[in-house]
């Protein structure tokens, strides 16, 4: 189960829907779009990455970190630890000509802010989530390419494995032993 996965379909209790509701109920679709949703599972922790596009040209990420614990042979609990809305990296080539003046003004305004506020913009906005959201899920199917899980209501989430091993440098994960017993029963429930 450890590795990098792409969400192909997500149900009502999934982190994908959580991210989508958080972003899209609060903003128009022209402001932000969900490009893709990926997960890294390693050492008993999950990192969900929502790849976003702002104003149809600026790319950014929302990261959700969760702790995974084994509750039974095919049942797991996911507890959300924190969220991080990374500061989008803006390429000047991606900015339409009519917005370049406004972009320069915004850049100058950000440089004049006090250091603690600049740190929030440069390091991203951290959202503490400990104790606010958790869920139980069952592993319905697991092989080398596909992972299907179901939440407590039975809604499925379908994930496909991404190629290549996770990068140790780019994906820091908190070290904790992870019980692989859920891998022993990859059968449809």
pLDDT in tens, 22-34: 666 666 767 778 8
Is 90 exceeded by the pLDDT of residue 75?
yes
Is 50 exceeded by the pLDDT of residue 106?
yes
Question: 165: which DSSP letter?
Answer: P
Mean pLDDT of the chain: 78
Helix (H, G, I), strand (E, B) or coil at 108: helix
Backbone angles phi, psi at 133, to 5 degrees: -150, 130
Could you give the domains of the chain? Answer: 3-86+124-184 (2.40.128.280), 92-123 (no CATH)
More confident residue, 118 or 164: 118
The residue-averaged pLDDT of 27-54 equals 86
Kindly tell me the burial class for residue 150, based on how many C-beta atoms sit within 10 Å of its own C-beta (0-12, 13-18, 19 or more): buried
In this prediction the pTM is: 0.71
Position 174 confidence tier, pLDDT thresholds 50, 70, 90: very low
């Amino acid at each position: 189960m450890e590795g990098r996965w792409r969400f192909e379909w997500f149900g009502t209790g999934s982190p994908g829907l959580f991210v989508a509701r958080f972003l899209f109920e609060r903003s128009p679709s022209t402001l932000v779009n969900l490009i893709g949703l990926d997960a890294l599972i390693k050492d008993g922790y999950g990192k969900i990455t929502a790849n976003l596009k702002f104003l149809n040209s600026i790319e950014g990420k929302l990261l959700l970190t969760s702790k995974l614990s084994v509750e039974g042979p095919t049942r797991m609990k996911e507890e959300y630890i924190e969220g991080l809305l990374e500061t989008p990296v803006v390429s000047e080539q991606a900015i339409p000509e009519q917005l370049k003046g406004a972009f320069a003004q915004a850049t100058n305004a950000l440089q004049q802010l006090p250091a603690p506020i600049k740190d929030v913009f440069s390091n991203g906005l951290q959202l503490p989530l400990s104790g606010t959201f958790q869920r139980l899920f069952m592993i319905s199917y697991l092989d080398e390419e596909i992972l299907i899980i179901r939440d407590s209501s039975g809604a499925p989430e379908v994930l496909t494995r991404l190629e290549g091993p996770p990068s140790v440098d780019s994906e820091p994960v908190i070290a904790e032993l992870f019980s692989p017993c859920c891998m022993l029963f990859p059968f449809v429930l």
